[in-house]
Amino acid sequence: MHRWFGIALLACSPALLAQTPQTPQPHTPTKAQATLHVNTSRVLLDFVVRNKHGQIVRNLKPSEIHVYENGVLQPIRHSEFFNGQI
């Protein structure tokens, strides 16, 4: 039995060596497109107000701030001074 196994192995060896390994095809994932719809009633807006001397104005009230979107005045519900570094 060992003799037949050796002959079979020798007979198959050239066929095994002749096979070239297949290179894996690069995986190209399909681009999923997501759409996000959001309705919001508040927007955070950061801004800096300076006087004519270039100093930051710190004591603004919401009634002194005017923000327009597409030419329409938007209400200011809250304003807060944040002492951050640029």
Please check whether residue 52 lies inside any domain of the structure: yes
Please check whether residue 81 lies inside any domain of the structure: yes
Please check whether residue 54 lies inside any domain of the structure: yes
Domain, as residue range, for 54: 43-86
- Tokens, residue 49: 């107000």
- pTM beyond 0.75, yes or no: no
- The number of distinct structural domains making up the chain is 1
Q: What is the pLDDT of residues 44-55, one digit of tens each?
A: 888 889 999 999
Q: Is the CA virtual torsion 63, 68, 73, 79 positive or negative?
A: negative
**What pLDDT does residue 21 have?**
60
Q: Is the CA virtual torsion 46, 50, 56, 61 positive or negative?
A: negative
